[in-house]
Amino acid sequence: MRKNWQIKVFILTVAVTLIACQAVMGPVGDDITIPSPPTHDAEGDGAEMPNTVPPPTEAGDVGESGNPAESCFEGESYHPESELCYRDDGSAEPLFLTMMAGVTDYSDEDFSDAEEVGEEENLVKYTITGNEISAPEYEDVSAELKPLQENGEVHERVWDFFSAVIPQERRDFVSNYLVFTDGKNGTLAAVEQTQTDPYAWMIEIDPEDTADMQDFTFTLIHEYGHLLTLNSEQVKVDEAVFYNPEDDNAYFDAEDNCTTYFTGEGCANSSSYFYLFYDEYWTDIYNEWLDIEMIEDDYAYYDALDEFWAGREDEFVTEYAMTNPGEDIAESWAVFVTHPKPAGNTIAEEKVLFFYQFPELVELRSEIIARAYSRLIRMQ
Ligand SMILES: [Zn+2]
């Protein structure tokens, strides 16, 4: 493969940037039907706190008899392994899908406004053990960010939602939870390999963007889509790249030696979800897309992307999905989980139907739906 240095450097820059996802660019809410969660203002001590994921109406406390199943609502079963109550008979699905209707309607958002968002600041990093978080490591932050940094209750609440929605055994390679902020809007959440272990991952969430539970739910499922498709069982970790992030040649070599798709973390296994998806939907458009990726000027880049998008509305589930193959599979996965099974045959619909060919993913979808629904109704 011929190497083009400038192109490669640019791609490298893009690829090693953490997978920041699902930016929330501007006010949402007008087009949102249900649910409309109560606005939570943590006042009390006078400190101005952001609106965040609301507290559940019940903390899952067990009844006086000590029987945890007593905290379950009608129709729910108690699941001791996760200590959660949720419906396991499929009855949550239509209710959840109704709640999530319209969540991917980003049509009025302009991604080129991204630069107006504040800088991302890391606040605190937790260690994940099972469903628990511990050992907070605090970053040095300005006085202005202290209240959010010290609001462990909000950090926990955000974590509790994610850990309840995604079954523990499906995220056992996620070892850290980073709380960061770039103010309201901007990036809601992201995932990346940890700094020290390429096989372990970190979930990163900005609590300031978590008040809209519909958006938050979609975004967490989207982030999990990255974890599902990029973990080391799916993608062979490239240690040379991970341990030598400044070494461009290591990256180029890894890319050149990969006959499937090089994700940045490594070479996708030939039977991985990522590669099967890429092979089916990206091989024909990849070069055209790559030409756009090489545009360095932001405005020219977004113009070219707009042009690429025009006429392709029925090939991607959202405009954001067009960003790159990784975002495309994550968005398609999130639509797979949060929307009814498509009945049509557009490419966008085929990308959602793609996931239905894997029984393990259909099963996981049902479980995520049941768990997410049980949490959402407790926040209304
Ligand atoms: Zn993403």
Q: Quick check: 3 pLDDT over 70?
A: no
pLDDT of residue 279: 98
Q: How far is the CA of 222 from the centre of ligand 1 (A)?
A: 6
The arithmetic mean of pLDDT across residues 174-183, rounded, is: 97
Residues around ligand 1, an ion, CB closer than 5 A: 21, 327, 330
Q: Quick check: 193 pLDDT over 70?
A: yes
Q: How far is the CA of 223 from the centre of ligand 1 (A)?
A: 6
Peptide bond into 35 cis (omega under 30): yes
Q: How far is the CA of 66 from the centre of ligand 1 (A)?
A: 41
Q: How far is the CA of 192 from the centre of ligand 1 (A)?
A: 10
The arithmetic mean of pLDDT across residues 311-331, rounded, is: 93
pLDDT in tens, 140-161: 999 999 999 999 999 999 999 9
Q: What is the pTM of this model?
A: 0.86
Q: Across the chain, how many H-helices and E-strands are there?
A: 13, 10
pLDDT of residue 103: 86
Phi/psi for 263 (5° steps) reads -85, -10
Full residue range of the structural domain in which residue 32 is found: 5-45+52-377
Q: Please give the Cα distance from 274 to 40 (Å, whole number).
A: 38
Q: How far is the CA of 77 from the centre of ligand 1 (A)?
A: 33
More confident residue, 219 or 47: 219
Tell me the pLDDT of the chain averaged across its residues: 85
pLDDT in tens, 264-283: 999 999 999 999 999 999 99
Q: Please give the Cα distance from 264 to 296 (Å, whole number).
A: 20
More confident residue, 65 or 73: 73
More confident residue, 3 or 214: 214
The count of domains in the chain is 1
Q: Quick check: 113 pLDDT over 70?
A: no
DSSP code per residue over 295-327: --SHHHHHHHHHHHHTT-TTTSSSSGGGG-HHH
Q: Quick check: 169 pLDDT over 60?
A: yes
Q: How far is the CA of 60 from the centre of ligand 1 (A)?
A: 31
Which of the 8 DSSP states describes residue 170? G
